[in-house]
Chains A and B, each alone.
Chain A
């Protein structure tokens, strides 16, 4: 018998054996019958990767790690495991099954999930902290005050007082451009004019240094207001704003912007340029501090103060310090001083000035 015939005969016999495991064996030659008997035993061979996979499981178990036993028929056939097996295709790690040769540890998934959760919380907390530490600009328009609209764009700086006014209206002052600044005010600015046909027409103005130029627009009003409806504001005195005076803004007086007693933008007038220097009319001597007296420390403390129209010094701050407690003594003394206020065109105005306090030991 040729080899090819023998191969075919053996294969047919094997095919028949595999198709009918319990059936009678086909008649064949002795040699083929012997090989067929061997083939019958080979039907019980374990699957290809079973041995290596079980070995791997045992190695993991020997290393003290819990593993999922490869195949437990009872468990595999249980309804619960069948339900799990459906899900295992979605996420084998979660359900402890794997198609690979490695045993899967469910604890690994749990640790991994927990670690990811902690990391997510950590990163999220970082974002929150950064967010909370970031300064947030207040969107309230009343809290954000820029004085640019009140002042000229080039070559000047805010100085002098401020102004406000109003006609006791319900609405806040309406938006518009601040009126022109002049040394003298003939007519206070108004959004809604009471007298439409005055006998002597004069341009509305505020009292401020005349070198400050303000761009003109059609509508007069408070440059910082967002209100479109025409209104002089709830203040009193004839100007535009919420307080008293003939000016425009949030201050009080005939000027512009915050502050008082004319000028612009919350400060006081510097002396000169038509503004007289306040004069001290009551100035008690400052006391020496014990520390300075012991070491005979002496000199001058320079303070800056705004002398109001009532002659009271306000907004005191130290410009040049002497130390050893003499600065505090100088502040205490100057607070008690009284001045004759500075004047502009015969009218008292707030003036910013330096006050020098001498400390001498004789």
Chain B
């Protein structure tokens, strides 16, 4: 099983390398790298900033920097996500340093720690969870977004969708159940 997993990882790495080289020669191909790493970077950042706005700002900054510096990226057999997370860690460290206002922060060490922490399965799990939300049926996804992102009450969502509160609660339950099932399956 380990050998098969290694082979799969190797194939993924080769495919990623091709994508990187393609994006380096044609920046419009960067979108494919973005799609494959967005949730990972966001999940990594979101755990380390206090608000959703901050998480979105840092994530945007990471990808803009990555696109800008893509030409300098050298393939060393490490996943592209690691490079992105290093950029994210540096961006977060800069942000903390700015907000600390004179308080000494070991930014380099902090960045290193965070990049290593990125390999934690928790980040991967959360990235996968966010990705799975995108794959939910439209009505379930809508309820999840309204309930947890916009933090609307069931009554408000029911009014917006023109459905009963019971129906909205049912959609919410089914969505969470679906996500739980898919997360379990992916771990097994």
Chain A residues close to B by CB (< 8 Å): 3-4, 6-8, 10-11, 14-15, 18, 34-35, 38-39, 41-48, 50-51, 54-55, 57-59, 61-63, 69-74
Chain B, interface residues (CB within 8 Å), range: 35 or more
Contact of A48 among B46, B55, B145 (CB under 8 A): B145
A62 to B30: give the CA distance in the assembly, Å.
8
B145 in contact with A62 (CB, 8 Å): no
User: When chains A and B are docked, how far (Å) is the Cα of A47 from the Cα of B170?
Assistant: 23
Question: Which of B11-19, B56-64, B113-121 is near enough to bind chain A?
Answer: B56-64
Instruction: Using A58-B31, A71-B60 as known contacts, say yes or no to A11 and B169 having CB atoms under 8 A apart.
Output: yes
- In the complex, the chain A residue whose C-beta lies closest to that of B154 is A11
Q: Is the beta-carbon distance between A42 and B133 smaller than 8 angstroms?
A: yes
Would B126 and A57 count as touching, CB distance under 8 A?
Answer: no
In the complex, the 3 A-B pairs of residues with the closest C-beta atoms, listed nearest first? A62-B27, A7-B169, A42-B148
Q: Would you call B172 and A47 a contact (CB within 8 A)?
A: no
Give the shortest distance, in Å, between A324 (CB) and chain B (any CB): 80
Residues of B within 8 A of A3 (CB): 170, 173
Q: Is the CB of B154 within 8 A of A41?
A: no
- Chain B residues whose C-beta falls within 8 Å of the C-beta of A14 in the assembled complex: 147, 172
Contact of A35 among B42, B153, B177 (CB under 8 A): B177
Contact with A along B128-163 (1 / 0, CB 8 A): 011001000000000011011101011000000000
Are B172 and A58 in touch, CB under 8 angstroms?
Answer: no
Contact of A71 among B56, B126, B130, B180 (CB under 8 A): B56
Q: Is the CB of A61 within 8 A of B149?
A: no
Is there an interface contact between B52 and A44, defined as CB atoms closer than 8 Å? Answer: yes
Quick one: closest B residue to A47, CB to CB?
B149
B176 CB–A CB distance under 8 Å? yes
Chain A neighbourhood of B173, CB < 8 A: 3, 6-7, 10, 35
Give the complex CA separation of A50 and B133 in angstroms: 14
Q: How far is the CB of A78 from chain B (nearest CB, A)?
A: 13
> Can you name 12 extra interface pairs (CB under 8 A) apart from A7-B169, A46-B42?
A6-B173, A11-B169, A39-B148, A42-B133, A42-B179, A45-B148, A45-B149, A47-B56, A57-B64, A61-B67, A62-B28, A73-B57
Bound Cα distance A130, B151 (Å): 65
Contacting pair B172 A10 (CB below 8 A): yes
Chain A CB count within 10 A is highest, among B57, B126, B183, for B57
